[in-house]
A = this chain, B = another copy of it.
């Protein structure tokens, strides 16, 4: 399906972009978000497995299990958490919180507990948001054994004195950590990593949206024959990325470019957080795509906080992995609260984020380095039908400008992305110009 000796899938991706039915895709992905949303996921356990199996409907990702107790660098794979139910009932028998209605109510990774506690004791186990009193917060306790409930502050402050019945039916026991993986094999061993976290329970934008989008990206890439191999990882945050890296150090060395996907569907503007390297090809490709998106966008430097770019960008790996999201972690008011529900995810925005990922892949796939075979003065484009025949007009057409730029800068040291950046032209226009010039015998791709 792909053109050229190592042309990559840029043409395929361009066709896919031009044929993209954003309405249909947005609707499909939003339905998937709604299906994933109620499942009680965590960094281990059946909620995670169930979610990955849903994604398998889009793309054949394989599920991997890593045993509890496995050492992974400075960490150890934790015991597996099984959740069945959790309820908090008040002195008068009223249900204060029930994880069956909203799984955020349970402190994620709570140990089992059954008993009756006074309000005073209960308070030590409650989490709420005084500044957003109507929302239930998302809280976890993975590495310290604890039980707890998350309530809206409105509910919490109305709790009266008395005895509260706590029934947390969970198990913390040896088992395994699950992650999903799919490798789209390309012509080269060098890989593009797309990683997304799938440990969050009922939070729609963070990260049902990212999970759905990544599965759809994998589905599309499987229909191309790309230059790079694309590795999709659906991992529990932090421990999942660490586990994968610890067990796949050789594969990690093959990652040439990567993106951490998250917060893919809110109404906010696209945001690209650079890799630790700061000016890697993935950083330039993403910046270029956003700059030509015709929308507001933001570029940010790497920080060692956020999602799993923290692990991919740890100094021992220093991978060229950035993160392309809409509103970044912690910056929308609904973040990590019950307000991050499916209504926060806008189908058209989710499809738009999908589009930008494809555009970034298009740059990576199509970014070659060429040599002008007629470098002494300009070649006569007109006699090859590549240039207007009536002279004197004020401005060259955009397609002619793209050809002039490619000819001028293609000295074997500059890539098409270099040309696009310098010329401030969209990458697809520059690549199209290069293709026309190559067909005319004026340009040749260099070995590099």
B137 touches A396 (CB 8 A): no
B140 touches A401 (CB 8 A): no
Dominant SS among interface residues on chain A? loop
Q: Which residues of B contact A396 (CB under 8 A)?
A: 305
The CA-CA distance from A330 to B141 in the complex, in Å, is 62
The CA-CA distance from A326 to B413 in the complex, in Å, is 33
Is A49 engaged at the interface, CB distance under 8 Å to the other chain?
Answer: no
Is A432 engaged at the interface, CB distance under 8 Å to the other chain?
Answer: no
- Within the complex, which residue of B75, B143, B315 is in contact with A408, where a contact is CB–CB below 8 Å? B315
Nearest chain B CB to A389 CB, angstrom units: 4
Q: Which residues of B contact A394 (CB under 8 A)?
A: 329-330, 335-336
- Given A139-B390, A305-B401, A382-B144, A377 and B316 contact (CB-CB distance below 8 Å): yes
- Given A305-B404, A313-B408, A75 and B380 contact (CB-CB distance below 8 Å): yes
Residues A324-382 near B (CB distance < 8 A): 329-330, 335-336, 372, 374-380, 382
Q: Which residues of B contact A158 (CB under 8 A)?
A: none
Is A296 engaged at the interface, CB distance under 8 Å to the other chain?
Answer: no
Nearest chain B CB to A405 CB, angstrom units: 6
A242 touches B377 (CB 8 A): yes
Q: Which residues of B contact A316 (CB under 8 A)?
A: 372, 375-377
Nearest chain B CB to A143 CB, angstrom units: 5
Q: Which residues of B contact A138 (CB under 8 A)?
A: 392
Interface CB pairs A-B, < 8 A, 23: A73-B374, A73-B377, A74-B379, A75-B380, A108-B391, A140-B391, A141-B390, A143-B382, A143-B389, A303-B423, A304-B401, A304-B407, A304-B409, A305-B404, A310-B408, A311-B377, A313-B408, A314-B407, A314-B408, A316-B372, A329-B394, A330-B394, A336-B392
